[in-house]
Structure 1
Amino acid sequence: MSRIREKNQQLIIEVASEQFAINGYAATKMVDIAKAANIPKPNVFYYFSSKDKLYYAVLEMVTQPLLEASRPIEHLDNPVEALTQYIQTKLRISRDYPYASKVFANEVMSGAKVLPLEVGEELFKQSQMIIDKFTSWSEKGLMDPVPPQHLMFTIWAATQTYADFSWQICNVMEKETLDTEDYADAAEFLTQLVIKGCGVKSATE
């Protein structure tokens, strides 16, 4: 793929993610995306032949990082290190893909009716892997016997809220946008909350 083609596709996806997040799937038209991106409507259709395909591309922009975010949980045996990296990564996704995250949240809240089946299956497999790992850590005495599903839900909610409820968070913090230090503070706080609250221990202790 040429640089120009890749750059144009990325621009369209980013603009579309904002339009879908603000207006919803049904109310967003391809002409609106073209106007917001300041490019001719035929150019949008050149790269994405339908609104559905563009919507899938927006979802993929955030679901792929979400699927990759659990690698520390999957591959690291040290719960402290794994949870630290997982929470940091989840917050980076909220920071880097705020509109796409909102689109994904709206899709899930509406019953994931448009989410591609294979993506839903991958997300389910990821969830089961995380639950199994949390259970394993508890059985090894590396973490208190907490309900693994609810721990996973709590981490999801605590990290994704920085994208999904960004207006409210920025309003409370009296900022137009959060900066790098804000996300670092959030990561440190949430990590300590989980580690201390769930009695998480390092594998070397």
Structure 2
Amino acid sequence: MDEVIEPNNNKPNEPAPKQQNKQEINRLLSQEKIINAAQQEFITHGYKGATVQSIADRAELPKANVLYYFKNKENIYHAVLQKTLDMWDDGIGDIDINDGPRVALEKFINSKIDMSFANPSASKIYAMEIIQGAPQLNEYARTYQRKWVREKAKIFQHWIDNGEMADVDPENLIYLIWSTTQHYADFETQILTIKNQREYEQEDIDKVKSFLLDFILRGCKLK
């Protein structure tokens, strides 16, 4: 019987699958390295002060490599902001009406605290963008974020109307959770200076969670 030869579906100049996978991994690693370096440059020097060269230097990559992946500084900044938004969307999850107010608030607060301590740079970039008038996030704030807040406020209002929690303003409750949890990231330097520490310890994170959960749940008459 003649040997059956499997057809080669790869185009003549197309890399083999293993080579493609390696190239994809290298591409993702390089982009992640650039985004992480860009976060620090934008935090330190602001959008105007940061340069593609300074980002490349911090990432320890040639400037040409950075421009190959992102074309210009504006695209790098968009990628940094998008990473933050994606992280928050994945981490916060959804406030489920079936959870009830106590469980929903515990999940919401815990996830926001975890993200603030694990990714302070992302929170600082977002805060700087908002303080500057949200030039790159205006559409996001007007559409997705506005819709999210209104939808979640309706769920809190449902629980309030059913007598399941205190009669508090739902939107201001959401703003309170945002501000108190992100404070530990945005004002990290101030807090660590006051505490005379170089970095947060796990004990600090546990204390923040315990305090904010107790304070907010008591305020909502859920304890």
Answer whether TM exceeds 0.5 for this pair.
Answer: yes
- The count of corresponding residues between Structure 1 and Structure 2 is 201
Aligned-pair CA distance for 1:135: 1.0
Judge conservation of contact 1:56–1:115 (CA < 8 Å) in 2: no
Distance 1:45 1:116, change over 3 A: farther
Aligned-pair CA distance for 1:77: 2.5
TM-align CA RMSD: 1.7
Q: 1:40 aligns with which of 62, 68, 86?
A: 62
Deviates more, 1:69-78 or 1:154-163: 69-78
Work out which of the two has the higher radius of gyration on C-alpha atoms and give 1 or 2.
2
SS in 1 for 2:48: coil
Aligned-pair CA distance for 1:32: 0.5
Gap regions ≥5 residues in structure 1 = none
Judge conservation of contact 2:92–2:108 (CA < 8 Å) in 1: yes
2:129, 2:96 → 1: CA distance?
26
Judge conservation of contact 1:13–1:54 (CA < 8 Å) in 2: yes
What residue is the counterpart of 2:170 in the other structure? 148
SS in 2 for 1:183: helix
Q: Percent identity?
A: 32
Q: 2:102 aligns with which of 51, 72, 80?
A: 80
Judge conservation of contact 1:18–1:100 (CA < 8 Å) in 2: no
Q: Deviations over 1:92-114 (max 9, x none)?
A: 22122211211110111111111
Distance 1:120 1:4, change over 3 A: farther
1:184, 1:15 → 2: CA distance?
29
1:28, 1:10 → 2: CA distance?
18
1:41, 1:7 → 2: CA distance?
16
Letter of the 1:95 counterpart: F
1:65 aligns with 2:98: no
TM-score normalised by the chain length of structure 2: 0.84
1:194 aligns with 2:216: yes
TM-score normalised by the chain length of structure 1: 0.91
Judge conservation of contact 1:67–1:126 (CA < 8 Å) in 2: no
What residue is the counterpart of 2:192 in the other structure? 170
Judge conservation of contact 1:91–1:187 (CA < 8 Å) in 2: yes
Gap regions ≥5 residues in structure 2 = 1-20
SS in 2 for 1:25: helix
1:28, 1:75 → 2: CA distance?
44
Judge conservation of contact 1:56–1:116 (CA < 8 Å) in 2: no
2:53, 2:115 → 1: CA distance?
28
Judge conservation of contact 2:41–2:50 (CA < 8 Å) in 1: yes
